[in-house]
Structure 1
Amino acid sequence: MQRFIAPAVLAVAVVLGGCQASMPATPTPVHGFVTDMKAFDAFIATHPTPEQFRTAYPDVLLVMPGTVATMEYRSNNSRYFAELDKDGRITGGHFS
């Protein structure tokens, strides 16, 4: 009987650990313009949806492909031109 306890406890730990890992973490909103490029690049590497981007960076203007934008140049990382994959997730882009 006791030899079944350890595998059972291990199985429960694996299942609960799997549930924990599958729950998406809600990013803390970064207010203002993008200054931490390393954190921003790591966020983009997760291929967020436009809504996730707007939640994480509410003060950065997200310009989607096909959207009309002015030709002004911004040097403060306040406007991000996104590149999307076929599912509509952001895969990259550039500031302008």
Structure 2
Amino acid sequence: MRRSLLLLSLCSISALLAGCGNKGPLYMPKATPAATVKPAAPAVKPAATATPVAAPAPVHGFVTDTTAFDTFIATHPTPDQFRAAYPDVLLVLPGTVATREFRSNNSRYFAELDANGRITGGKFM
């Protein structure tokens, strides 16, 4: 009887300690409503050849020029365009689990998306 009580108390203590650690709180961004799927329009060839728009040069390192960054976000880029323009900034999309440790170097951007999946705003954390 004493052995089972001792074993039970050891198991409960180890279960409590397993939940401890230096993990920090987790941040789960607000969920956005799912976009409705529309049927695809038939493909129509343009009459004239369209000139491809040149992609902006990637900005390496963390964001230091916030006015240029805000101008880029105002164009409502896709997540892939964001990653191409700012490859060293971690993009956290809604629904992605991420820790909320304090970062003051603009290295992680929590984005807000519209119904089409384009970035409409967000904040650094």
User: TM-score under structure 1 normalisation?
Assistant: 0.76
Q: Distance in 1 between matches of 2:114 and 2:53?
A: 20
Matched, 1:38 2:70: no
Matched, 1:70 2:94: no
**Residues 5-84 of structure 1: pairs in structure 2 closer than 5 A:** 19-20=50-51, 23-84=52-113
2:74 corresponds to which letter in structure 1?
A: A
Equivalent residue, structure 2, for 1:4:
none
Larger Rg: 2
1:91 corresponds to which letter in structure 2?
A: T
Identity %: 75
Q: Distance in 2 between matches of 1:45 and 1:54?
A: 16
SS of 1:38's equivalent in the other structure is helix
How many pairs does the alignment contain? 78
Q: CA RMSD in A?
A: 1.6
Unaligned ranges ≥5, structure 2 = 1-47
1:90 corresponds to which letter in structure 2?
A: I
